[in-house]
Structure formats: structure tokens, C-alpha cells
């Protein structure tokens, strides 16, 4: 069942989304060589508590942390660790969710580590973020989930990269994951039609190499099958009569 939100509910989701954005901004500023992913985790948890919100991920299906920190060939759901120390030239995807007054916000960024990364990695980040922007532009009344996914797939593949199939975006509201699923691939005009008040988390996951993924023995961390690097960007977006409303910026 798809739950369309009222204006008052969207206002609550906007407050959650703004907290997520501020947490991500604070954590991004800490990313540097020599910093561990647990350092990022601790800073995020402190910031979430300061805002009076609750972490959305910690305890969700027994996930142990407030952030997902996925480095290099890790696609999503990387678990923060004191042992995972960032190095010059790495990339790290940081995914954060919070719940405030019963409503969720969810967003992700991928950040370069250090002063410079390889040109191909910078292109990966740029293409993935731009594909998200193109997908958001499709969030309009009468469009479909297929239009959203196609916008990501078309742009990513035109730039020589691939879209992960095993993991997708999702509806969001009073639960972290609601209907509908929002793949980062699809056929225009197909799938669930977008209606006013729908809120979806759009999250392109893009690999330099092939699209295949596998989950490690920790049961969470998803990595590329071929070892290629991967990027992940995400926004929570509402469908309104005036077009897309990004709740996490």
C-alpha cells in the first residue's frame, strides 16, 4: 500500500530531512586520510542526539550503527569500524537516516578522501550525483517509477558505467521502507504512477565495472562482484503539484 502524505506530514518529513542533511554535512567535513569510519559514526550519532532525533538505521534488522560507510568497492551497508581507516585517494559513501516525530528522512553522499582522487573516480562521483538530479526531475504528477529509474540508467550507461540491480530505492514515511520500490533502472511509462503526496527515496548505486553485487559474511556489506569501485547518492523526494520537493537538502 502506498501512503500519500498531507502537507503537515511533509512538513514533519522536511524537518527530519534537514537533520539528515546537517549530519551528513558535519560528517563530510571530517573525512580525511587517517580518519576511521568509526570516527565518522561517533560524530554522526552525537549530532543526531543533539538534534533530538533518533537514528533510523541503528537496530533496524539488528544493524549495529547509525551510519552506513561504504569504502571503494563497497556499494552500500558498510559497517563503521575503528579498523577501517580512510586513505588518500579512497572514496567513501555515507548513508544516514533519522526519525523525528515519527517520520523518517534518508540521504547519502559519496565523498573523496584527501586532496585528489583518480579522474575516473571523480567522473564516477559526478555521473552518479548527476543521475540522481536527473531522476529527481522526473518526480512529477503523471510520471512513473519507470521514468525515474530510466533517467538514472540512461545517463549512467551513456557514461560507460553500470547500475546495480540487487538494491533499489523505496517509499518512505512513518516507516523507513515503504511502497513502492524505486529501481535505478526501468522503462519509461511503466511501473507505479506518481501521485501527489508520495514520498520516495531515490538512490542511484553506480559501479565503474559490471553491475553485479554480493553481500559479505557480515550479512550487511554489499560489494561489487568484480572489485570495481562504486558510488551512492540519495535524496528523499516528495511528489507535489508544483513538481519535486527534495526533503533532504
DSSP one-letter code for 177? S
Contact between 10 and 105 under an 8 Å Cβ cutoff? The reply is no
Q: Which domain holds residue 82?
A: 7-246
pLDDT tens digits for range 12-36: 999 999 999 999 999 999 999 999 9
Report the CATH number at residue 44: 3.90.230.10
- All residues at 6 or more sequence positions from 81 whose CB lies less than 8 Å from its CB, including other chains: 36, 37, 38
Whether 1 maps to a domain, the answer reads no
Task: Select from 22, 113, 14, 32 the least CA-distant residue to 72.
Answer: 113
Using DSSP's 3-state secondary structure scheme, residue 222 falls into: strand
The greatest distance separating any two alpha carbons of the chain, rounded to the nearest whole angstrom, comes to: 48
- The helix/strand/coil state of 135 is helix
| pLDDT number for residue 237 | 98
* 101-135 residue pLDDT tens: 999 999 999 999 999 899 999 999 999 999 999 99
Q: Is residue 2 part of a domain?
A: no
User: What pLDDT shows up at residue 1?
Assistant: 87
Residue 226 lies in a domain: yes
What average pLDDT score do residues 53-65 get?
97
The arrangement of strands across the sheet holding 243-246 comes to: 178-182, 169-171, 199-202, 235-240, 243-246
* Residue 198 maps to a domain: yes
Q: Exposed, middle or buried, 26 (CB in 10 Å: 0-12/13-18/19+)? A: middle
Total domains present in the chain: 1
Interval 151-199: pLDDT, tens: 999 999 999 999 999 999 999 999 999 999 999 999 999 999 999 999 9
- Based on its alpha-carbon atoms, the radius of gyration of the chain, rounded to whole angstroms, reads 17
Report the residue count for the chain.
Answer: 249
157 in any annotated domain = yes
Q: Are strands 169-171 and 213-215 parallel, antiparallel or unpaired?
A: unpaired
Amino acid at each position: 500500500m502506498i501512503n500519500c502524505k498531507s502537507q503537515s506530514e511533509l512538513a514533519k518529513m522536511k524537518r527530519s530531512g534537514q537533520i539528515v542533511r546537517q549530519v551528513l554535512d558535519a560528517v563530510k567535513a571530517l573525512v580525511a586520510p587517517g580518519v576511521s569510519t568509526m570516527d565518522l559514526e561517533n560524530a554522526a550519532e552525537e549530532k543526531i542526539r543533539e538534534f533530538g532525533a533518533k537514528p533510523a538505521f541503528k537496530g533496524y534488522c539488528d544493524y549495529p550503527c547509525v551510519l552506513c560507510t561504504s569504502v571503494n568497492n563497497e556499494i552500500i551497508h558498510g559497517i563503521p569500524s575503528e579498523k577501517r581507516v580512510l586513505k588518500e585517494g579512497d572514496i567513501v559513501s555515507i548513508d544516514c537516516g533519522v526519525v523525528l516525530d515519527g517520520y523518517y528522512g534518508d540521504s547519502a553522499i559519496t565523498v573523496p578522501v584527501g586532496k585528489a582522487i583518480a579522474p575516473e573516480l571523480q567522473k564516477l562521483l559526478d555521473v552518479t550525483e548527476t543521475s540522481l538530479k536527473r531522476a529527481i526531475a522526473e518526480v512529477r504528477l503523471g510520471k512513473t517509477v519507470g521514468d525515474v529509474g530510466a533517467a538514472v540508467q540512461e545517463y549512467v550507461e551513456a557514461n560507460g558505467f553500470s547500475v546495480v540491480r540487487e538494491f533499489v530505492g523505496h517509499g518512505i514515511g512513518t516507516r523507513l521502507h515503504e511502497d513502492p520500490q524505486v529501481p535505478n533502472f526501468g522503462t519509461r511509462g511503466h511501473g507505479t504512477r506518481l501521485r501527489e503526496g508520495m514520498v520516495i527515496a531515490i538512490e542511484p548505486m553506480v559501479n565503474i565495472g559490471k553491475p553485479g553485487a554480493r553481500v559479505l559474511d557480515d550479512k550487511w556489506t554489499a560489494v561489487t562482484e568484480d572489485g570495481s569501485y562504486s558510488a551512492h547518492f540519495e535524496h528523499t523526494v516528495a511528489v507535489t503539484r508544483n513538481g519535486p520537493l527534495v526533503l533532504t537538502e
